[in-house]
């Protein structure tokens, strides 16, 4: 089973059918002996095998909670309920266990809580008094331990919503405490950071806002003021988050937890579920439908129909230490819309308008610390982030520290830092002491965002400072690096990766100082504007790019001496092919603190933040 559907999803029946095709293979492998554990594969995590299997089971409820809210109970419902009862029964082999501080099982309590609230009446009569008490006891553990001080606070909020609504427990004080902490993450214009102010990624959409909107609906009667505020913030967030998606339905591959795939569009599902005003519901439905259609046409399922860890293909290289075999079912959050009944007006919305023509200038999302631009045909989005880096997550330097991220070209993660070919260093400046051991930007000294460029300063060594200014210009972007070094260095500045599947799939045009790779998806180019270095092509790299399982990219190489060096490069990433995309090479002229840029007949002058 390579895909579920290649068609766009619009009606409730189509959403329901897609959901059931995704989950049924997983439900089929639940056994009577272990109804509350889902064992789908053998890869490991930092938490135990039993917790991995509990996670796999419980994440199915992100979809089944909304689904059964409007569907009659059936054998699958009873099967899930049996698994839940086994998981919370301390005497059962499937007992999910006692928890501790910052425990993975806290994460998995949230879909259970939502499932129970949305299906309260259906569940009440099917469980005994003892089973209800076991449910309460297991979930209430979350109130006895510390959670991570980020989006995890919402897991406790949602559990306490369930305990209050289903079991009349007084949990309002704890809900208030958790919201008080969440409020400190708020940046404005609908944006939050996720507990750490250098962490602004999809967790703002598929976690903080998603849980906020579920709360706003489920707890509106108890907390109308906050429910209204959370909806207002979601509407504000939507105004700029929409720019993370291209007209093909693809979201920008950026940040951690990419294996959650179509959770990318779960925010739009929550917008429709919560009836958020101030943002066109047709656009929300379009973004949801197109993103789902894209993902369900990708090779993300095993032959048995199970979701696998990876992004656009099976790939453990890019995964985090908390990505277990069942983790990808977090993506089922996108089906929250199924909680709306068949006669809801959302199902009659025709969502497939164009998203609007691309503008010549990129859009600054100041709170997310990035510029975002869409190609003229709408089929690609590129993001230029600065000021983000999450040290604790696998490949944080690749997931947050590239100069640019693309819905068409993706990005690479590393298989090692010794030897340039292992590093997968696309769209990043890799620096070595001419010893083949490369360093790239991780933490940063300072950053700046403007409507014309982004800039960042970092130190690969204490006595080396690199300031980079990145300037989008049409489908090109310019990189100006000012390097002050007390060491002789080799620098290699990489361009966009393109898929490789044999020599006939990539056409190469190369001179000493520029290089273009024309591929089946478009062209990647690198130009040394000051002709101080040389152009090269990476080795073919397998299983490092999140979109394509075999890639290569152009890069520019230069040896620099001790002292100050200014390096000027231009890079092209375009869905058009080489003959269409490149008519004349870009040019640059540095005069004082100004950079005069030109691409063809277009010109732009930028006042640089350094020099």
pLDDT for 154-204, tens place per residue? 999 999 999 999 999 999 999 999 999 999 999 999 999 999 988 899 999
Report residue 37 as tokens.
């554990």
| 421 pLDDT higher than 90 | no
| 3 pLDDT higher than 80 | no
What pLDDT score does 62 carry?
98
Q: Is 186 exposed, middle or buried (0-12, 13-18, 19+ CB in 10 A)?
A: middle
Taken as a whole, the chain contains a residue count of 611
Contact (Cβ atoms closer than 8 angstroms) between residue 508 and residue 537:
yes
Report residue 415 as tokens.
């298989």
Give dist(CA 269, CA 338) in Å, integer. 9
CA proximity to 94, closest of 29, 34, 139: 34
Neighbouring C-alpha atoms within 13 Å toward the C-beta of 111: 29
DSSP annotation of 206 reads I
Residue 286's contacts (CB-CB under 8 Å, 6 or more residues apart) are 351, 352, 353, 355
| 4 pLDDT higher than 60 | no
479's enclosing H/E stretch is strand 476-485
User: Can you say how many angstroms the Cα of residue 565 is from the centroid of all Cα atoms in its chain?
Assistant: 36
Could you state, in order of their start, the residue ranges of all structural domains in the chain?
A: 12-344, 363-607
Class of domain 363-607: mainly beta
- More reliable by pLDDT, 37 or 611: 37
Calculate ∠ Cα 209-67-31, nearest 5°. 110
Per-residue confidence band for 592, with pLDDT thresholds at 50, 70 and 90:
confident
Contact (Cβ atoms closer than 8 angstroms) between residue 40 and residue 29:
yes
State residue 255 phi and psi, 5-degree precision: 85, -170
Other Cβ atoms closer than 10 A to 173:
9
Choose the weakest-confidence range: 111-115, 316-320, 552-556.
316-320
Residue 221's contacts (CB-CB under 8 Å, 6 or more residues apart) are none
CA proximity to 586, closest of 602, 607, 565, 606: 602
Neighbouring C-alpha atoms within 13 Å toward the C-beta of 199: 17
Residue 479's contacts (CB-CB under 8 Å, 6 or more residues apart) are 403, 429, 468, 469, 470, 471, 493, 567, 568, 569, 570, 571
Choose the weakest-confidence range: 328-332, 436-440, 555-559.
436-440
pTM: 0.96
Report residue 162 as tokens.
């369930």
| 353 pLDDT higher than 80 | no
**Strand ranges in 214-314 using DSSP code E only, listed in sequence order:** none
pLDDT tens-digit map of 475-522 = 999 999 999 999 999 999 999 999 999 999 999 999 999 999 999 999
157's enclosing H/E stretch is helix 153-167
| 429 pLDDT higher than 90 | yes
What pLDDT score does 187 carry?
98
Contact (Cβ atoms closer than 8 angstroms) between residue 203 and residue 325:
no
> Which contacts (CB < 8 Å, 24+ apart) does range 172-177 have?
172/222, 174/143, 175/223
Give dist(CA 566, CA 480) in Å, integer. 7
| Residue where the block lists tokens 């190469």 | 508
Report residue 436 as tokens.
């083949």
Per-residue confidence band for 422, with pLDDT thresholds at 50, 70 and 90:
confident
pLDDT tens-digit map of 246-281 = 999 999 999 999 999 999 999 999 999 999 999 999
| 293 pLDDT higher than 90 | yes
What pLDDT score does 390 carry?
72
What pLDDT score does 393 carry?
77
Class of domain 12-344: mainly alpha
Give dist(CA 551, CA 427) in Å, integer. 13
DSSP annotation of 527 reads E
CA proximity to 478, closest of 489, 486, 470, 467: 470
Give dist(CA 221, CA 217) in Å, integer. 8
Give dist(CA 162, CA 222) in Å, integer. 12
| 42 pLDDT higher than 90 | no
Report residue 136 as tokens.
């309460």
Other Cβ atoms closer than 10 A to 329:
27
Report residue 192 as tokens.
């939050």
Q: Order the strands of the 506-510 sheet from edge to edge.
A: 446-449, 454-461, 464-473, 476-485, 563-574, 523-528, 514-519, 506-510
pLDDT tens-digit map of 451-460 = 999 999 999 9
Give dist(CA 389, CA 196) in Å, integer. 10
State residue 333 phi and psi, 5-degree precision: -55, -30
Give dist(CA 204, CA 606) in Å, integer. 32
pLDDT tens-digit map of 91-147 = 999 999 999 999 999 999 999 999 999 999 999 999 999 999 999 999 999 999 999
What pLDDT score does 352 carry?
59
Choose the weakest-confidence range: 38-42, 340-344, 489-493, 573-577.
38-42
Other Cβ atoms closer than 10 A to 450:
15
Contact (Cβ atoms closer than 8 angstroms) between residue 492 and residue 430:
yes
What's the mean pLDDT in 351-362? 60
CA proximity to 332, closest of 611, 66, 17, 51: 66
| 52 pLDDT higher than 90 | yes
| Residue where the block lists tokens 């001496």 | 561
What pLDDT score does 584 carry?
82
Per-residue confidence band for 359, with pLDDT thresholds at 50, 70 and 90:
low
Contact (Cβ atoms closer than 8 angstroms) between residue 365 and residue 298:
no
| 351 pLDDT higher than 80 | no
Contact (Cβ atoms closer than 8 angstroms) between residue 226 and residue 179:
yes
Give dist(CA 495, CA 551) in Å, integer. 12
Give me the percent of the chain exceeding a pLDDT of 70.
97
Give dist(CA 331, CA 22) in Å, integer. 10
21's enclosing H/E stretch is helix 12-28
| 1 pLDDT higher than 50 | no
CA proximity to 302, closest of 29, 545, 9: 29
Longest dimension (CA), the chain: 79
Per-residue confidence band for 541, with pLDDT thresholds at 50, 70 and 90:
very high
What pLDDT score does 610 carry?
85
What pLDDT score does 418 carry?
81
What pLDDT score does 232 carry?
98
What pLDDT score does 443 carry?
87
The alpha helices in 296-430, defined as continuous H runs, are: 396-400, 420-423
Contact (Cβ atoms closer than 8 angstroms) between residue 236 and residue 212:
no
């Amino acid at each position: 089973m390579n895909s579920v559907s290649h068609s766009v999803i619009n009606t409730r029946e189509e959403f329901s059918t897609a959901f059931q095709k995704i989950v049924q293979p997983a439900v089929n492998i639940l056994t009577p002996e272990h109804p509350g554990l889902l064992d789908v594969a053998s890869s490991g995590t930092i938490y135990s095998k039993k917790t991995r299997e509990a996670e796999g089971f419980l994440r199915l409820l992100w979809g089944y909670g909304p689904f059964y809210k409007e569907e009659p109970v059936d054998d699958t419902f009873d099967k899930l309920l049996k698994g839940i009862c086994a998981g919370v029964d301390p005497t059962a082999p499937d007992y999910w266990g006692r928890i501790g501080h910052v425990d993975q099982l806290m994460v998995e309590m949230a879909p259970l809580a939502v499932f129970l609230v949305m299906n309260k009446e259906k569940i009440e009569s099917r469980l005994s008094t003892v089973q209800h008490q076991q449910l309460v006891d297991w979930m209430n553990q979350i109130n006895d331990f510390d959670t991570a001080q980020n989006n995890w606070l919402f897991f406790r909020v949602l559990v306490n919503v369930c305990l209050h609504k289903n079991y009349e427990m007084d949990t309002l004080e704890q809900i208030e405490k958790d919201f008080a902490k969440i409020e400190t993450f708020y940046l404005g214009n609908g944006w939050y950071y996720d507990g750490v102010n250098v962490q602004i990624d999809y967790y703002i959409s598929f976690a903080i806002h998603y849980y906020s909107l579920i709360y706003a609906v489920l707890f509106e009667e108890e907390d109308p003021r906050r429910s209204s505020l959370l909806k207002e913030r979601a509407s504000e967030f939507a105004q700029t988050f929409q720019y993370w998606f291209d007209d093909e339905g693809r979201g920008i591959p950026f940040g951690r937890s990419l294996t959650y795939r179509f959770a990318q569009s779960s925010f739009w599902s929550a917008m429709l579920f919560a009836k958020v005003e101030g943002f066109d519901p047709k656009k929300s439905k379009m973004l949801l439908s197109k993103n789902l259609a894209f993902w369900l046409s990708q090779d993300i399922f095993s032959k048995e129909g199970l979701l696998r860890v990876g992004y656009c293909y099976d790939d453990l290289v890019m995964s985090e230490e908390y990505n277990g075999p069942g983790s990808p079912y977090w993506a089922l959050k996108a089906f929250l819309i199924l909680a709306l009944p068949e006669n809801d007006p959302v199902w009659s919305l025709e969502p497939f308008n164009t998203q609007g023509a691309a503008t010549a200038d990129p859009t600054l999302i100041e709170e997310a610390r990035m510029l975002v631009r869409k190609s003229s045909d709408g089929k690609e989005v590129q993001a230029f982030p600065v000021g983000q880096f999450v040290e604790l997550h696998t490949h944080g330097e690749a997931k947050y520290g590239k100069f640019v991220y693309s819905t068409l070209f993706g990005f690479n993660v590393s298989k090692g830092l010794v030897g340039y070919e292992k590093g997968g260093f696309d769209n990043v400046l890799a620096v070595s002491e001419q010893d083949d051991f490369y360093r790239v930007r991780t933490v940063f000294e300072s950053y700046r965002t403007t409507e014309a460029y982004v800039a960042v300063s970092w130190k690969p060594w204490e006595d080396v400072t690199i300031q980079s200014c990145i300037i989008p210009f049409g489908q090109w972007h310019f990189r100006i690096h000012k390097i002050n070094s007390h060491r002789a260095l080799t620098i290699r500045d990489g361009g966009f990766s393109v898929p490789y599947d044999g020599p006939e799939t990539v056409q190469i045009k190369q001179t000493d100082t520029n290089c273009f790779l024309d591929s089946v998806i478009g062209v990647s180019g690198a130009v040394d504007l000051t002709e101080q270095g040389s152009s090269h092509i990476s080795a073919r790299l397998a299983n490092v790019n999140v979109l394509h399982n075999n890639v290569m990219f152009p890069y520019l190489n230069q040896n620099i001496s001790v002292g100050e060096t200014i390096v000027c490069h231009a890079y092209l990433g375009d869905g058009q092919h080489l003959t269409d995309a490149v008519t004349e090479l870009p040019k640059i002229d540095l005069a004082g603190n100004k950079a005069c840029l030109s691409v063809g007949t277009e010109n732009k002058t930028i006042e640089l933040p350094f020099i």
